Homo-oligomer: A and B are copies of this chain.
Amino acid sequence: MKIAFIGIGVMGLPMAGHLLGAGHELNVFTRTPSKAEPLAKEGARVFDAIAPCVQGREAIITMVGFPRDVEEVYLGHGGIIKSAPKGALAIDMTTTSPALWEKIAMAARQKGLRPLDAPVSGGDSGARAGTLAIMVGGAAADFEAALPLFQKMGRNIVHEGPDGAGQHTKMANQIAIAGAVAGVAEAIRYGEAAGLDLEKLLATISTGAAGSWQMSNNGPKMVSGDFAPGFFIKHFVKDLSIAHEESKDRDLKLPILGKALKLYAAMGDAGKGELGTQAIIEAYRGENGEG
């Protein structure tokens, strides 16, 4: 397939690489062209603007950073909506605002494009291994058309519903993570204050009803003080902020989400946005801890 891939970061690079490796013909655009060099060596064509990059393409895939970036690449001057050829799949794999995506999807349909929102989970290791979970919103026929591409990048690939359903699923995922990771941090902080052996604590409680991916993967890192990012705090703040906004729009009151957002936002404000989400344990140790 003739593909344009926009956004070659820590996620986009391996994802685009899988498509290239499967024999697809790849155009790429990214704000820092040097990041696309490994793809160029494998035959991808690198562009310095979106309009020529998407010209004549059957599928356009975007994997950028924040909602403002999504808005710009789709709706901006010389962006995808203006420049992509009629009939092309327009697939955003960024985690972004469901409300923003619904606006973009409507504009895309009016131009004859086929929009899909398809955020992922699994992190950079999942992107490299091609084992991402991909949560897809949009028309069923468009999902089917894009499925062979998704299958090169991920494993657990689900058509969740209409436009925005992929983003909403990702939001629900992040909300569940927020409760789980904060619960693990509070359990460890409690155990620490009570004088427990924290390794024994985790070994005891991680196999039962308190067990979770967060406990098994981030619990030991909290205990050992390994705050290297598997998932950046700054990105989690973005995601939880979107989920919080969407909740407010629906008059939902989700206090655990609210508290977790507050703790993580405070860490971001304190310059810790480049740490991994497990660093939340620090918020409970410092004077910033708040009840």
> Residues of A with Cβ closer than 8 Å to B?
98, 121-123, 133, 135, 156, 158, 160-161, 164-165, 168-169, 171-184, 186-191, 193-197, 200-201, 203-205, 207-215, 217, 231, 243, 246-247, 250, 252-260, 262-263, 284, 289-291
Contacts of A231 in B (CB 8 A): 209
A173 engages B214 (CB within 8 Å): no
A96 to chain B, nearest CB (A): 14
**A188 neighbours in B (Cβ, 8 Å):** 172
Q: How far is the CA of A268 from the CA of B64 in the complex (A)?
A: 46
Please determine whether A161 and B197 come into contact, CB atoms closer than 8 angstroms: yes
Are B193 and A252 interface neighbours, CB within 8 A? yes
Known contacts A169-B196, A195-B161, A204-B133; A179/B183 CB under 8 A: yes
The answer on a CB contact under 8 Å between A171 and B190 is: yes
Q: Nearest chain-B residue to A136 (Cβ)?
A: B204
Q: Which of A178, A191, A256, A262 has the most CB of B within 10 A?
A: A256
- With the chains together, A173 CA to B205 CA distance in Å? 6
Q: Which residues of B contact A263 (CB under 8 A)?
A: 255
Q: A165-B196, A190-B247, A253-B289 are in contact. Are A209 and B98 (CB under 8 A)?
A: no
Task: Indicate if the CB atoms of A213 and B209 lie closer than 8 Å.
Answer: yes
Counting every copy of the chain, the complex holds: 2
Most central of A195, A204, A253, A258 by chain B CB within 10 Å: A204
Which B residues are in CB contact (< 8 Å) with A190?
168, 171-172, 175, 243, 246-247, 252, 254
Residue of B nearest to A182 (CB): B256
A sample of 30 cross-chain residue pairs with beta-carbon separation below 8 angstroms, ordered by A number, consists of: A121-B205, A123-B209, A133-B207, A135-B205, A158-B200, A160-B200, A161-B200, A164-B194, A168-B196, A171-B194, A172-B187, A172-B188, A173-B208, A175-B186, A175-B187, A176-B183, A176-B212, A178-B183, A179-B180, A180-B180, A180-B183, A182-B183, A186-B257, A193-B252, A252-B284, A253-B284, A254-B284, A255-B263, A256-B256, A256-B259
Min C-beta distance of A117 to chain B, whole Å: 12
Residues of B within 8 Å of A121, CB to CB, are 205, 208-210
User: Closest CB of chain B to A81's CB: distance in Å?
Assistant: 24
Whether B213 pairs with A217 at a CB distance below 8 angstroms is no
Give chain B nearest CB distance to A84 CB in angstroms: 27
Pick the contact of A291: B168, B246, B250, B254 (CB < 8 A). B254
- Inter-chain contact B186/A205, CB cutoff 8 Å: no
Which chain B residues border A186 with CB–CB below 8 Å?
175-176, 179, 254, 256-257
- Give Cα distance in the complex from A1 to B98, angstroms: 64
State the Cβ distance, A261 to closest chain B Cβ, in Å.
11
**B-side contacts of A169, CB under 8 Å:** 191, 196, 200-201, 204-205
